[in-house]
Amino acid sequence: MTHYSRITGTGSYLPPNRLTNAQLAAELAVKGVETSDEWIVERTGIKARHFAAPDVTSSDLGLEAAKRAIEAAGLQAADIDLIIVATSTPDMVFPSVACILQHKLGIAGCPAFDLQAVCSGFVYALTVADAMIKSGAASKALVIGAEVFSRILDFSDRTTCVLFGDGAGAVVLEASETPGILASDLHADGKHVGILCVPGHVSGGQVLGSPLLTMDGKAVFKLAVGVLDSAARAALAKANLHETDIDWLIPHQANLRIMHSTAKKLKLPLEKLIVTVDQHGNTSAASIPLALDEAVRSGKVKKGDILMLEGVGGGFTWGAVLLKY
């Protein structure tokens, strides 16, 4: 019986097309949509985002991130015995991105499925993989967040289209006798469905309702700040740790103001906050593993560091994973 699961490799991938706020604002101006670099930076901290080419899907982005994570773990694709992809922007209605990605990795046989918890998807997926490893159902899991949110943006709505970007992040999570994931705390409250959703669905070969993202930004902002704090505290309590034990806070990258207030509530200095939202925008389920990989590869996050990962998003869903890297 395995006692722990541990991250042994990280990887990420951004599509090459990078758009600064000024470039996006210029493109939007042609459509009569008015915004500015100044507004976006001041309200969100976002300076640039990456958009995938029209023929590039979540499985393409996820595949590149997965290859890098597998290499960092010192494994081969054939060693992987579980694939979970957190995404809200799958390649198709079905089959899952995880199945498509498994085939692109050149492997077959292991269980592969998608998990849909919008921007909390990665902390949900990590928690599920941890539980499957501890139960003995898997020993070397690939956990991926991959999104092409540009596909579901309403470029006539300036309150949402400036916020999101595309990308993917991945980790290899392995059975281990040393920690590892220490605690996690997941929640959902479906009464908030309407404040952040893509209400369309497919019926009779047609999309019914809008297939584009709508958000009540103020309502999401208010909820996010409160629930991120409570989930982080619950995870700390489950692991018998304290705020001061956290080396790095790696929250979902949606808005710098939300991230600063989360750090402040946990009494963490801003130096302990990993920030990539400025360069990536909000990449939904991909944002946390993207930020984690950048922090690992830049040398900030080191073996043995205590990391607090936190996600919040549509559903409403939220959660935290506390781990020793």
Is residue 313 involved in binding ligand UT7 (CB under 6 A)?
yes
The correct pick among 221, 226, 230, 243 for binding ligand UT7 (CB under 6 A) is 221
Cβ-proximal residues to 132 (8 Å cutoff; 6+ apart), any chain: 82, 138, 141
Tell me which stretch binds ligand UT7 (CB under 6 A): 59-67, 102-110, 217-225, 272-280: 217-225
Q: Which of 220, 248, 267 is nearest to 310 (CA)?
A: 248
Cβ-proximal residues to 53 (8 Å cutoff; 6+ apart), any chain: 15, 17
Count CB atoms within 10 A of the CB of residue 298: 9
Q: Which of 44, 35, 87 is nearest to 224 (CA)?
A: 44
Tell me whether residue 282 is one of the annotated catalytic residues. Answer: yes
CB of 266 to ligand UT7, least distance (A): 17
Q: Name the active-site residue from 119, 161, 255, 280.
A: 119
* DSSP state for residue 176 in the 8-state scheme: E
Is residue 275 involved in binding ligand UT7 (CB under 6 A)?
no
Is residue 282 involved in binding ligand UT7 (CB under 6 A)?
yes
Under rule CB under 6 A, which residues in 39-98 are in contact with ligand UT7? 39-40, 43-44
The correct pick among 200, 211, 217, 226 for binding ligand UT7 (CB under 6 A) is 217
CB of 138 to ligand UT7, least distance (A): 28
Is residue 155 involved in binding ligand UT7 (CB under 6 A)?
no
Minimum CB distance to ligand UT7 smaller for 161 or for 175: 161
How distant is the alpha carbon of residue 225 from its chain centre? 17
Q: Name the active-site residue from 50, 161, 252, 280.
A: 252
Is residue 218 involved in binding ligand UT7 (CB under 6 A)?
yes
Tell me which stretch binds ligand UT7 (CB under 6 A): 73-81, 178-186, 251-259, 270-278: 251-259
Is residue 113 involved in binding ligand UT7 (CB under 6 A)?
no
Tell me whether residue 252 is one of the annotated catalytic residues. Answer: yes
Asked whether 238 and 183 are in contact (CB, 8 A), the reply is: yes
Is residue 259 involved in binding ligand UT7 (CB under 6 A)?
no
Helices 217-238 and 256-265: crossing angle, nearest 10°?
Answer: 30
Count CB atoms within 10 A of the CB of residue 221: 16
Tell me whether residue 260 is one of the annotated catalytic residues. Answer: no
CA atoms within 13 A on the CB side of 153: 24
The correct pick among 48, 186, 220, 227 for binding ligand UT7 (CB under 6 A) is 220
The Cα-based distances of 158 to 13, 84, 162, 280 in angstroms read 26, 33, 6, 17
Q: Which of 138, 133, 153 is nearest to 31 (CA)?
A: 153
The correct pick among 119, 125, 142, 277 for binding ligand UT7 (CB under 6 A) is 119
Residues that bind ligand UT7 (CB under 6 A): 35, 39-40, 43-44, 119, 158-159, 162, 196, 217-218, 220-221, 224, 254-255, 258, 282, 313
Residues designated catalytic: 119, 252, 282
